[in-house]
Structure 1
């Protein structure tokens, strides 16, 4: 069933006019018809099933008929912080991390970042990134759209609200330190918050490691192999999902 986020509250028996991008996707992309059912998640994260009542040009009239049962969210809040990367790697990370249940995605200009996000392009990038997150959340039937942020340095972040703080560090693997991630995930409890920082293509610098360790971050290996920047966050989120949802 198609799944969309709307910026208003809804309740059963409401009739709602959908327009803009949502209407375009319903009519032009999905080729939906009158009497088809869709899922809506409203501004308060309540999920409903709605029936298409009419298609009028660039507008779609729907009626909310019942609550939808969704359970796609991880029982903890996860944040990934990733050094900016070249090409479309940032967009790939947003799309796939959203599908895997991440709550917050933060990109930063790391010491070793090859491609850096300039301040005059932040608004344009954020608009693009948030749209990717929304579409991925709709595809995976999420109740929430992850937030996406762009910052210049790690020092701009506050880490006080996190219960578990990790750094993906390849040197930990070389030192045969494989228990940190497993122990951290095993200790997680519902409603807790976990954050993990990942370097860009060039890795994370000693200065950044030192700063994070001063904020009580613990270095953790992601297996025996060196992972690409776009793969490492997905490895972490896969392990998190397995530990919380399948073990």
Structure 2
């Protein structure tokens, strides 16, 4: 069943109106009709099955009939921070990491970033990535749409609060380090906050990793293989899911 995020404080048996992009997708793309049902996420992240009562003037009247109690959220709140990569890799990271449970995304320039985001285009880039996150959250039946932001430097990133701060470093993997990630995940409790940083193509510079370690980040290896910039965040999220959701 298709899921839609709304800005309404939805209540059972109290109808509300759907318009804009949600109306277009529900009625035009999905060809839903009066009497059909879909899932709607309220402003407070509660989820309801709603029935279409009527459509008129580019709006659909929805009646919430059942509240769904299940949640598809990871038990820990993970922020994925990434050095800017080339092409559409940022969109891939946001889409797939949203499906795997990430809560926040932060993009930033790093020493080895080949791609650059001109200042006048940053807002447009973030808006596009936010739309990707919303679409992926609907597809994967999340209760939350992840946030997407941009910071100008590693210094700004270091100021972000989190109970666990980790940096994925390929040299750690090359040197056979394989215990720190396991140790970090084991210590995470429900609702723990995690800030994780991944480099762009070419990884992070050694002095950047040193700065992060001095700021309280733990350097971790992601297995014995060297991963692409867009693959590394998925490895971390999958590891957290296996440890915290499937054991």
TM-score > 0.5 by shorter chain: yes
| TM norm structure 1 | 0.97
Query: Structure 2 CA distance, aligned partners of 1:192 and 1:139?
Result: 25
Deviations 1:136-193 (CA, angstroms, capped at 9, x unpaired) = 0011111101010112211113546312111111111121110011111111111111
Query: Is 1:156 the counterpart of 2:127 in the alignment?
Result: no
Residue matched to 1:41:
41
Point out where structure 2 has 5 or more consecutive residues left out of the alignment.
none
Query: Structure 1 CA distance, aligned partners of 2:69 and 2:17?
Result: 23
SS of the aligned residue for 2:85 comes to: coil
Runs of 4+ in 1 over 6 A off after TM superposition: none
SS of the aligned residue for 1:239 comes to: helix
Residue matched to 2:76:
76
Deviations 1:1-58 (CA, angstroms, capped at 9, x unpaired) = 1111101211111111111100010012111121111111111111111101112252
Deviations 1:91-143 (CA, angstroms, capped at 9, x unpaired) = 00000000000011111111110101121111111111111100100111111
Query: Is 1:194 the counterpart of 2:200 in the alignment?
Result: no
Residue matched to 1:6:
6
Query: Structure 1 CA distance, aligned partners of 2:208 and 2:55?
Result: 54
Query: Is 1:118 the counterpart of 2:118 in the alignment?
Result: yes
Deviations 1:194-228 (CA, angstroms, capped at 9, x unpaired) = 11110000210122112101111111111111100
User: Could you say if the C-alpha distance between residues 154 and 115 of structure 1 is closer, same or farther in structure 2, counting changes exceeding 3 Å?
Assistant: same
Point out where structure 1 has 5 or more consecutive residues left out of the alignment.
none
Deviations 1:59-112 (CA, angstroms, capped at 9, x unpaired) = 211111121222101111111110011110000000000000001111111111
The 10-residue stretch of structure 1 (72-81 or 49-58) with the greater mean CA deviation from structure 2: 49-58
User: Could you say if the C-alpha distance between residues 159 and 246 of structure 1 is closer, same or farther in structure 2, counting changes exceeding 3 Å?
Assistant: farther
Residue matched to 2:66:
66
Query: Structure 2 CA distance, aligned partners of 1:160 and 1:33?
Result: 46
Query: Structure 2 CA distance, aligned partners of 1:127 and 1:115?
Result: 18
Cα RMSD over matched residues?
A: 1.2
Q: How many residues align?
A: 247
Q: Contact 2:46/2:143 (CA < 8 Å) preserved in 1?
A: yes
The 10-residue stretch of structure 1 (50-59 or 144-153) with the greater mean CA deviation from structure 2: 50-59
Q: For 1:1-247, list aligned pairs within 5 A.
A: 1-159=1-159, 161-247=161-247
Query: Structure 1 CA distance, aligned partners of 2:14 and 2:119?
Result: 42
Query: Structure 1 CA distance, aligned partners of 2:198 and 2:158?
Result: 17
